[in-house]
Structure 1
Amino acid sequence: MATEQTILLQEISNLRSRQAQWNPYGWYKEMRENQPVYYDAEQDVWNVFLYDHAKRVLFDHEYFSNKKERSFIPIPRIMDNRSNVNFVDPPEHRNRRALLAKAFTPRTLEAWEPRIQTIVDELLTEMEGHSTVDIVEKLAIPLPVTVIAELLGVPTKDRVKIKTWSDILFLPYAKETFEDTAAKKGQAMQEFHEYLYPIVVDKRKHPADDILSDLTKAELEGERLTDQEVVMSAIGLLGAGNETTTTLISNTFYCMLFDKPAVYQELRSDLFLVPKLIEEVLRFRFPSTNDRKVVQDTNIFGPEMKKGQMIMVWTGAANRDETHFPHGEEFDIHRPGNQHHLTFGAGPHFCLGAPLARMEANIAMTSFVKRFADIRPVEGFDVLEHLTDSPMGQTLKSLPIWVEHQR
């Protein structure tokens, strides 16, 4: 993979420091107000920052296609994989997505709810008796990777390996370290593949009640998926299935500690506010992005965009667009309509795992709030010491918090 195929987000935003990447919201605001449709000549990439523009790009595959040769997405891609849902458009996309969608229907997830609750309870019990805990290490990381591994039918004892490979595959590219990062990803992809392949072969012979078994039986275009295609689907689901939810749970605690410290006691008095909290975190502190290829010349956003150019959708900026979210720079769990954020995308490519991510976060937060009387930041906490490179610039690799137990 060459740099020409990869859109380097840092080169567009020019957010170089960890602090700037963790808090890109000032730059988002500046772009919304001054350059809402911005052309980056060096990489030949258009950029949109307003809510209506972002939604149009995500929905309109007649103008903006997901069939693309270039992307900011850092996972190495195998383009001829028929089960890949990310680099096709409808109607082909519909058939591929249907293979995976069954695992994420409300009925299927409802059946998983008790198991997710059990996993959460076990993780919270391990925190009992400790006055400080690293909430990323003890909850945000193990919960999603355990759930997605169980859902897929992969041994959960291997969750540390799975998480390590996923983290490497999601490392962002930067100009200076491109070749090194690409080599690391290639190695992780190979190891991940070698790990999953025998599991898939065994599932085909001895199917169980899990997604991998379902995929070995599924048909696409009248043919069964090959073992290779099932493996690649599993890698995509295992990676995406824990990355986003880990970030969501980590950021939820950060928001409660630093963006609106009074909110924890509000939740204690009314647990029905937990889903509103989760949606506001997704809107307020989730600097996500999407990309598409321009498939026909257009000036629908003003400037002339040419067929073949790329367009970046800065959904983290769109989520604070004041025309859709008044006082968008404020964290407010009582905000009406905060669930209309674009963090999980929109249109045909709306994130398949969104219902699972929401369910895990809601169960985790409701259970945590019931069990612990209060939380506070630990003394001397400096966020810059707790960040790691991620597709979103920076995410929390650890978050030590002080917890008050029930009396």
Structure 2
Amino acid sequence: MDETILLHEISKLKSKQEQWEPFSWYKEMREKQPVYYDAEQDVWNVFLYDHAKRVLFDHHLFSNRKERSLIPVPRNNSRTNLNFSDPPEHRKRRALVAKAFTPRSLQTWAPRIQAIADELIAEMEGQTIVDIVQKLAIPLPVIVIADLLGVPSKDRQLFKAWSDILFLPYAAETYDHLIEQKARAMKEFHEYLHPIVQEKRKNPADDIISDLIRVDYEDEPLTDEEVVMISRGLLAAGNETTTTLISNVFYSLLVDCPGLYQELRSDLSLVPRTIEEVLRFRFPIAMDRKVAQDTDVFGHKMKKGQMVVAWIAAANRDESQFARAEQFDIHRANNQQHLTFGAGPHFCLGAPLARMEANIALTTFVKKFADIQLVDGFEVTEHLVESATGQSLKSFPIHLVTQ
């Protein structure tokens, strides 16, 4: 258990409600203890925007080559692991898959993403109440990443089930049980992908798995094992975060900024701004690094080998960076400067894809339905599931207005 940083043990936020809305705690830490040392886990914590950005950018001081992490997925330090490495090695690893996620490459996928969104949203017609998480936020990203990789999207419930297990947060009392659960999910995921990789080696297609089979890395092709590992990582990460984003978009439209839906109806060009503000305002995320050398860059003596957690969701509400940061405001000029996708060499590879999916999903939905409303008696705590950095929506029933 020494390998895993338990965020909930640092924040001491126990209830589902506190973990879903940790914002008053973030504010208190920014104002009173912006650099906080947790002695129990030997972890430094930073909450201010500038500090978090420095941790993410400066790999000489804060390294991603680490033995401990808050990432709840079982880890390996193989030569192709995109995480747990620093430049220049990280640049070579990232280049293996980066081409598929450039905005230009993704433009060729836009019609397919649009067709999937159209189909999912058409299925909601004639219904008065739909669970937007189960009917849109979960299936869209899973189908899209499966298509990109070249695995059958009909198996999406399998991918989702494995991803959910891999991203379950560790907790002290359930640690051993979770280790077994995750190992089993990894094994099943591997056994599923391995024959697909072998088949594509014989009959390559136009997809990411086939691209990985074709490339050379360090002057030799990737092994089946390495292709499986990269594919598994992309398949899991490629749906988890986008599901959270799309779910939170609808929550923000109904709870954080009622009335915004009608503003979007009258001006669809505001959809991208809305997505950025949700990423800034309501996205539970923290990132960790290892202290690479003794430093007092933040005014405290941090020792080589210690861990530091950048509480990104707290940094995204730093008033010194975002005026009126505690307000949900899509018209604030610099909302896109949030750190939700990271910063520096490890900026999220899938960020353009996540943005595209969320924009297409919301635009298509807003065109189709005249309005949305909260369902009577809705209590958010009844619809939450624990995630690595807090709580996320496992379901969200909303009322659809067609005329």
TM class by shorter chain equals: over 0.9
Q: Offset at 1:10?
A: 0.7
Match of 2:303 among 306, 312, 315: 306
Q: Does 1:77 align with 2:75?
A: yes
Report the AA paired with residue 340 of structure 2.
T
Residues 24-75 of structure 1: per-residue CA shift (max 9 Å, x gap) = 1111100000000000011100000000000001000000000000000000
**Mapped partners of 2:284, 2:332: distance in 1:** 19
1:61-100 aligned within 5 A: 61-79=59-77, 81-100=78-97
Secondary structure of 1:286 counterpart: coil
Q: Does 1:221 align with 2:223?
A: no
Residues 250-278 of structure 1: per-residue CA shift (max 9 Å, x gap) = 00000000111110000001000000000
Residue 22 of structure 1 corresponds to: 20
Match of 1:251 among 248, 252, 272: 248
Residues 86-107 of structure 1: per-residue CA shift (max 9 Å, x gap) = 1100000000000010110112
**Mapped partners of 1:181, 1:209: distance in 2:** 36
Secondary structure of 2:324 counterpart: coil
**Mapped partners of 2:8, 2:387: distance in 1:** 12
1:7-406 aligned within 5 A: 7-79=5-77, 81-406=78-403
Report the AA paired with residue 270 of structure 2.
L
Report the AA paired with residue 116 of structure 1.
I
Contact 1:215 1:230 in 2 (8 A): yes
**Mapped partners of 2:68, 2:294: distance in 1:** 18
Secondary structure of 1:361 counterpart: helix
Contact 2:242 2:354 in 1 (8 A): yes
Q: Offset at 1:286?
A: 0.6
Once the two structures are overlaid, the 10-residue window that deviates more, 102-111 or 343-352, is: 102-111
Once the two structures are overlaid, the 10-residue window that deviates more, 311-320 or 217-226, is: 217-226
Report the AA paired with residue 40 of structure 2.
E
Q: Offset at 1:353?
A: 0.1
Contact 1:83 1:233 in 2 (8 A): yes
Secondary structure of 1:62 counterpart: coil
Report the AA paired with residue 265 of structure 1.
Q
Report the AA paired with residue 64 of structure 1.
F
Contact 1:24 1:287 in 2 (8 A): no
Contact 1:8 1:72 in 2 (8 A): yes
5+ long unaligned stretches in structure 1: none
**Mapped partners of 1:247, 1:392: distance in 2:** 12
Secondary structure of 1:351 counterpart: coil
Q: Offset at 1:287?
A: 1.7
Secondary structure of 1:342 counterpart: coil
**Mapped partners of 1:64, 1:220: distance in 2:** 26
Residues 292-326 of structure 1: per-residue CA shift (max 9 Å, x gap) = 00010000000000000000000000000000001
> Root-mean-square deviation (CA), in Å?
0.6
Secondary structure of 1:39 counterpart: strand
Q: Offset at 1:392?
A: 2.3
Q: Offset at 1:221?
A: 0.8
**Mapped partners of 2:11, 2:390: distance in 1:** 10
Once the two structures are overlaid, the 10-residue window that deviates more, 383-392 or 50-59, is: 383-392
Give identity over the alignment, percent.
70
**Mapped partners of 1:63, 1:285: distance in 2:** 29
Secondary structure of 2:106 counterpart: helix
Residues 222-259 of structure 1: per-residue CA shift (max 9 Å, x gap) = 11111111111011101110000000000000000011
**Mapped partners of 1:49, 1:239: distance in 2:** 28
Residues 183-235 of structure 1: per-residue CA shift (max 9 Å, x gap) = 11111011000000110111111100000000111111111111111111011
How many aligned positions are there? Answer: 403
**Mapped partners of 1:345, 1:392: distance in 2:** 15
TM-score, scaled relative to structure 2: 0.99
**Mapped partners of 2:81, 2:200: distance in 1:** 20
**Mapped partners of 2:313, 2:333: distance in 1:** 18
Q: Offset at 1:143?
A: 0.1
Give structure 1 regions of 4+ aligned residues with deviation exceeding 6 angstroms: none
